[in-house]
Amino acid sequence: MKDFAGKIAVVTGGGTGMGRELVRQLVAEGCNVAMCDVSASNMAETKRLCEAERLPQGLRITTHIADVSDEDQLLRFRDEVADQQHTDIIHLLFNNAGIGGGGSLFANTREQWERTFNICWGGVYLGTRTFLPMLQKASEGHIVNTSSVNGFWASIGPVIPHTAYSAAKFAVKGFTEALITDLRLNAPHIKCSVVMPGHIGTSIVANSRKVQNNTETDSLSAEEIAQTRTRLSAMGIDASQMSDADIQAAAAERARTFLEDAPMTAAAAAKVILDGVKAEEWRILVGHDAQLLDQWVRATPEKAYEPDFHSRFAAEAGWKLG
C-alpha cells in the first residue's frame, strides 16, 4: 500500500497522542478515517484539527465512542463505521489504544491489572477479530498493532514493577508475528506490522489514571495519593514528609515531563509508523531509543534485568530518570 488516498482507515485511541497524529496524517493524505476513543471531547479536538486543514472534497472523518476491551462496544463501532463511512470494507486497521497502570501484582488491585491488560492486549485481539471481515473484502489491507519497547523488555527500571503493560505488549508482539503466517496462508492481500515505540511524548500517564479511575478530573483521589506514596517510597524517595498537595504536584509533574521531555513527538512517531506501513515493514521500531534498546537487549538478554542496566541504558539513550 504505497499511498493512503481514497482508502478507509480505522484508528483506535484516536483522541490523543499517537492515535490523534495518525488520524491527522492519514486525513492529510486523503484517507477516510473512523476513530474510536472513550473521550468524545478528545476525538472532537482531533477532528477539529483535521478540519482546520484544507480537506479533499467528500473526505469522511467519523468519531465513535468505544472501549476496546469490550467486544460489544467494538461490534457497535464496526456497525457504525459501515453505516457512517458507507462501506463494507476497510483498508487499514490501527489497533493503537492503550493505557498504563496495574504495574504490580502486589500493590495494585486485580481490577487495575486486568484493566490495563484487557485494553492493551484485548483491544488488539478483539479489534482484529472484529474488523478482519471488512479487511478481507478489500483489494488490499494492513493491520498495524501497537506494542512497545516493553514488548521485548519488560521493565521501566529496577524499582518500579511494570507487569500488566509489559505482559500485554509482549502478547501484542507475539500475536502480530504469528499473524504474518496466518495472513499469508489465508488472506495474502492483508499485511501486518507490529509497532514498538520508545519514549514518545504523549498524555498516556495522565490519561491512564483517568481511565483506570473512571474520572475526568486531574486531581488524585485519597486512594491514588496513598498509592503514589507507596510508589515513591519504592523508588527510594521519602514521602513521609510530603503533604497531599506535594503528592498531587509530583504526579502532575510526572505526567508533564513524560509528555514534554520525551525525545520524540507523537507527530514524528506517527510519520515513522505510516512510512513503515508504506514500505511493508512488519517490524517498526519508533525512535532512536527503541532501536538502541533493541540492540542492547538482543546483545545481552541475560543482563537486561540487572539493577544497573536501566541506568546505563538511560545515560546512553538520553532518557531522563525520575
DSSP letter for each residue of 309-320? HHHHHHHHHTPP
Label residue 218 by pLDDT band (50, 70, 90): confident
Report H helices in 87-121: 110-120
Angle at the Cα of 47 from the Cα atoms of 256 and 146, rounded to 5 degrees = 60
Same structural domain, 186 and 214: no
Label residue 132 by pLDDT band (50, 70, 90): very high
**In this predicted model, what pLDDT tens digit does every residue of 200-212 receive, in sequence order?**
988 776 777 667 7
CA dist., res. 90 & res. 7, Å (int): 7
Residue 235 lies in domain = 203-261
Q: How many CA atoms lie within 13 A of 265 on its CB side?
A: 6
End-of-domain residue from the set 243, 261, 279: 261
**C-alpha grid cell for residue 106?**
502486589
Q: Residue 216: what pLDDT?
A: 73
**Mean predicted confidence (pLDDT) in 156-161:** 91
Q: Residue 143: what pLDDT?
A: 99
**Mean predicted confidence (pLDDT) in 7-12:** 98
Same structural domain, 106 and 210: no
**Count of other CB atoms within 10 angstroms of residue 147:** 29
Ranked by mean pLDDT, the top range of 103-107, 237-241, 257-261 is 103-107
CA dist., res. 113 & res. 24, Å (int): 31
Whether residue 319 lies inside any domain: the answer is: no
- 167 or 259: which leads in pLDDT: 167
Same structural domain, 20 and 80: yes
Model-wide pTM > 0.85 = yes
Domain count for the chain: 2
Q: 3-state DSSP call for residue 161? A: coil
- 220 or 166: which leads in pLDDT: 166
**C-alpha grid cell for residue 243?**
503533604
Label residue 250 by pLDDT band (50, 70, 90): confident
Q: Residue 209: what pLDDT?
A: 63
Label residue 313 by pLDDT band (50, 70, 90): very high
Same structural domain, 297 and 207: no
**Mean predicted confidence (pLDDT) in 303-309:** 95
Same structural domain, 183 and 132: yes
> Domain holding 297: CATH number?
3.40.50.720
